[in-house]
């Protein structure tokens, strides 16, 4: 125990390597990464976006970043499964903290998120966002597309989020519509997985409905994603309500009939060939959770996202 340390989020001398905090104690950053606003040398950056004023049903996702960080403590110390490696041995990662948002002036929210995201992306680091409701993906997409051009969207969700948008709405159900219309994403190479609701338009985006996902195995789902997106640079967004409420009850718009966390994690694990430029996990609302089921699922999805990034960096070096 003498060799152990605590509060690695503040005391770490490097952005690499595993922490040794007891799982049940210590400052709670994402996977015990060092809290820092210094982007120099960072390969990947975790950014919390505590915003839920765009929800159409139950609020509470503003507490998602806190819940995901808390649940992520369980991944500390050991090599991360199923990547069989310390993700931070060769990949320098910081927790940038949260975007400061004005709760009384939501019209300023998109620009504030985009500004913080653009700063991180300009540094050359990979950005992983922790939401927050799904509206946060809109300014994150804008920031990524400003650097990389129109992106393919790989979208895990129970909802298409293609409801009509006048370009001014603060709405978690219309960001895909806006992104297509403004040329932020390339609809023809985009795909949505787990859809279990009906929207009036799909913009030509490939859809794997919930009933199709139920009938397919993880490899078939992953193969469909890989073949559809191909070599196109893409953005990966995972709405936790993609999962059945049995595996993610703590969310604002749960929809029955979804896949298990095991199945979707298996799909994510097989997406290493995608050219993922950025990602987010959204809609974790811990007030409706039980025993941190949803927070653990969200933290695991986020860990897999970093795992895919770590493998890609390792293979490039």
pLDDT of residue 104: 93
The Cα angle at residue 207 between residues 306 and 258, in degrees rounded to 5:
70
Whole-number Å distance between alpha carbons of 95 and 107: 26
297, HSE (Cβ side, Cα atoms, 13 Å): 32
Whole-number Å distance between alpha carbons of 78 and 85: 8
Calculate Rg over the CA atoms of the chain: 18
Phi, then psi, of 39 in degrees rounded to 5? -90, -15
Burial label, 33 (beta-carbon count in 10 A; 0-12, 13-18, 19+): buried
Mean pLDDT along residues 244-248: 98
277-317: per-residue pLDDT in tens? 999 999 999 999 999 999 999 999 999 999 999 999 988 87
Buried residues in 285-309 as b, exposed as e (16+ CB within 10 A): bbebbeebbbbbbbbbbbbbbbbbb
What residue spans define the domains of the chain? 8-316
What CATH class is the domain 8-316?
A: alpha beta
Q: How far is CA 102 from CA 49, 270, 282, in A?
A: 12, 39, 19
Mean pLDDT along residues 114-119: 98
Whole-number Å distance between alpha carbons of 114 and 136: 9
The verdict on whether omega for the bond into residue 132 sits within 30 degrees of 0, i.e. cis, is yes
pLDDT of residue 1: 45
pLDDT of residue 3: 60
Site of tokens 């929809």: 255
Percent of the chain residues topping a pLDDT of 90: 88
127-152: per-residue pLDDT in tens? 999 999 999 999 999 999 999 999 99
In the predicted model, what is the mean pLDDT of the chain?
Answer: 95
Q: By the 8 A CB rule, do 164 and 176 touch?
A: no
Q: Give the least confident one: 16-20, 55-59, 210-214.
A: 16-20
Q: Give the least confident one: 40-49, 167-176, 178-187, 219-228.
A: 167-176
Model confidence band, residue 236 (pLDDT cutoffs 50, 70, 90): very high
pLDDT of residue 5: 78
39-96: per-residue pLDDT in tens? 999 999 999 999 999 999 999 999 999 999 999 999 877 789 999 999 999 899 999 9
* 3-state per-residue secondary structure call for the chain: CCCCCCCHHHHCCCCCCCCCCCCCCCCCCHHHCEECCCCCCCCEEEEEECCCCCCCCCCCHHHHHHHHHHHHHHHCCCCECCCCECCCCCCCEEEEEECCCCCCCHHHHHHHHHHHHHHHHHCCCEEEEEECCHHHHHHHHHHHHHHHCCEEEEEECCCCCCCCCCCCCCCCCCHHHHHHHCCCECHHHCEEEEECCCCCCCCCCEEEEHHHHHHCCHHHHHHHHHHHHCCCEEEEEEEHHHCCCCCCCCCCCCCCCCCCHHHHHHHHHCCCCCEEEEEEEECCCHHHCCCCHHHHHHHHHHHHHHHHHHHHHHHHC
């Amino acid at each position: 125990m003498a060799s152990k340390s605590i509060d690695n989020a503040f005391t770490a001398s490097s952005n690499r390597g595993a922490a040794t905090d007891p799982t049940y104690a210590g400052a709670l950053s994402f996977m015990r990464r060092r809290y820092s606003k210094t982007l120099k040398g960072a390969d990947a950056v975790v950014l919390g976006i505590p915003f839920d004023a765009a929800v159409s049903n139950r609020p509470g996702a503003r507490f998602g970043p806190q819940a995901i960080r808390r649940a992520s403590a369980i991944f500390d110390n050991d090599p991360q499964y199923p990547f069989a490696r310390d993700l931070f041995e060769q990949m320098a990662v910081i927790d940038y903290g949260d975007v400061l948002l004005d709760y009384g002036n939501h019209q300023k929210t998109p620009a504030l998120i985009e500004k913080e995201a653009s700063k991180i992306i300009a540094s050359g680091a990979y950005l992983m966002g922790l939401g927050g409701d799904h509206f946060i993906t809109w300014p994150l997409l804008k920031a990524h597309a400003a650097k990389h051009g129109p992106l393919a969207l790989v979208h895990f969700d129970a909802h298409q989020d293609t409801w009509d948008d006048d370009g001014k709405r603060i709405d978690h159900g219309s960001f895909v519509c806006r992104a297509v219309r403004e040329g932020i994403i390339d609809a023809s190479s985009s795909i949505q997985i787990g859809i279990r609701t009906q929207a009036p338009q799909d913009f030509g985006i490939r859809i794997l409905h919930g009933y199709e996902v139920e009938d397919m195995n993880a490899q078939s789902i992953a193969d469909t994603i890989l073949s559809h997106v191909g070599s196109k640079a893409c953005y990966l967004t995972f709405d936790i309500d993609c999962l059945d409420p049995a595996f993610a009850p703590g969310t604002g718009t749960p929809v029955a009939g979804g896949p298990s966390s095991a199945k979707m994690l298996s799909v994510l694990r097989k997406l290493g060939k995608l050219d993922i430029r950025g990602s987010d996990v959204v809609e974790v609302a811990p007030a409706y959770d039980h025993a941190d089921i949803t927070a653990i699922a969200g933290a695991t999805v986020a860990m897999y996202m970093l795992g895919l990034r770590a493998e890609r960096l390792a293979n490039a070096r």
